[in-house]
Amino acid sequence: MDVVVTGLGLALRGVDDARGLLAPDPPAPDGDDPVARLTGRGLRYRDRATRLAMCAARDALAAAGLVRDGALTVPAHRAGVVASTNYGNVDTVCDAVTTIAKETYAGTSPMALPATASNVVASWVAITHGLRGANLTLCNGETSGLDAVHWARQLIAARRVGWVLVVGVEPVNPPVRHLASGGTGADVRLLDGAAALVVETAESARERGVPALAGIGPYARKGTWTEAVAAVREPGAGPLGLWCAPGGAVPPHALEPALTCDLTAKMGECSGALGVLQAAAGTAWLNDETSGVLATAGTGRDGGTDASAALILRAAR
């Protein structure tokens, strides 16, 4: 079963579309805040991660033609969400814990307390757009984004859903900075943004009359990125068109990519958003090229004990 990407959305300062992820220079840090694009009621109790995810999700759904004039164009029970975020709503959780410590549970807000659930990002995105299919949140480190793309494809292959919105998001706020620095207070460069993809079968895309931007190929999860990349390389495969470097890792000589894109170097630690951002960058590149494939990996810790993931994207068939 061929599963393809049909929609992209971003919520990043200084980056207008996914092609901007391939630019050689880092995005301008003083760009407009993407959450300013959100309007309407009900935003007060939604944390920054949720707002960023909502921005990216809205654009991806519109680009794929799943939402038109604010209405879903496919059966709601067949459309799902897979979100990837490691820091997510940590600010809300910390606020709630602090309030309870000072005032007991009586001091908490009945509106804010439900937002301490770890799946709040995926839930709000689904509620906002009426996506009533499978709803998952992954928060398992740097591989989480690629894992999310993989699980979206698995849900479609298992016929649990027909369409999946994949969102990778990480916010920046004081609790996140504290955790990212290991409690030292050191200045760590962090991503504040989100990326979203819509995936579905190639047959579904043809039936709906929307273009397939990229095909999702083999995926592997191994102990090191070298093992993960080797596992997804198909026999007789040609040279890579693009290598999305996992945190500065140099690709094996045998791959000889035409282009390398290190999003961590340009945007800081991307955590759970990394894999989705890599897939968005690769999709944008493949949509402009006539051939080639993309390899991405979730971590740059080769030889260590952390798990790594790799994914191949192909030009859409």
Confidence label for 294 from pLDDT (cuts 50, 70 and 90): low
pTM listed for this prediction: 0.92
Q: How far apart are CA 10 and CA 278, in angstroms?
A: 12
- The pLDDT tens digits for 211-268 are 999 999 999 998 877 788 888 887 777 667 888 877 667 666 656 666 888 898 899 9
User: CB-based contacts of 208: which residues, under 8 Å, 6+ apart?
Assistant: 65, 73
- The pLDDT tens digits for 149-175 are 999 999 999 999 999 999 999 999 998
| The pLDDT value given to residue 72 | 95
AA letter at 135: N
What b/e string do you get for 52-87 counting C-beta neighbours within 10 Å, with b at 16 or more?
bbbbbbbbbbbbbbbbeeeebebeeebbbbbbbbbb
What is the 3-state secondary structure of 24-79? CCCCCCCCCCHHHHCCCCCCCCCCHHHHHHHHHHHHHHHHCCCEECCEECCCHHHE
Confidence label for 302 from pLDDT (cuts 50, 70 and 90): very low
Confidence label for 300 from pLDDT (cuts 50, 70 and 90): very low
- Measured between alpha carbons, how far is residue 61 from residues 5, 201, 204 in Å? 11, 15, 15
| The pLDDT value given to residue 303 | 45
Confidence label for 292 from pLDDT (cuts 50, 70 and 90): low
| The pLDDT value given to residue 85 | 96
Range scoring the smallest mean pLDDT among 40-54, 222-236, 283-297: 283-297
Q: How far apart are CA 16 and CA 232, in angstroms?
A: 31
| The pLDDT value given to residue 158 | 95
Confidence label for 134 from pLDDT (cuts 50, 70 and 90): very high
Mean pLDDT of 135-144: 92
Under 8 Å between Cβ of 21 and 244? no
Residue 279 has a CB neighbour count (10 Å cut-off) of 29
pLDDT at 139 over 80: yes
| The pLDDT value given to residue 253 | 61
User: CB-based contacts of 199: which residues, under 8 Å, 6+ apart?
Assistant: 3, 4, 5, 6, 149, 152, 153, 156, 163, 164, 166, 216
| The pLDDT value given to residue 287 | 79
pLDDT at 38 over 60: yes
Tell me which long-range contacts 12-20 makes (C-beta under 8 A, separation of at least 24). Answer: 12/193, 12/194, 12/195, 12/267, 13/192, 13/193, 15/193, 17/284, 18/195, 18/280, 18/281, 18/283, 18/284, 19/284, 19/288
pLDDT at 210 over 90: yes
User: CB-based contacts of 25: which residues, under 8 Å, 6+ apart?
Assistant: 266
More confident residue, 34 or 316: 34
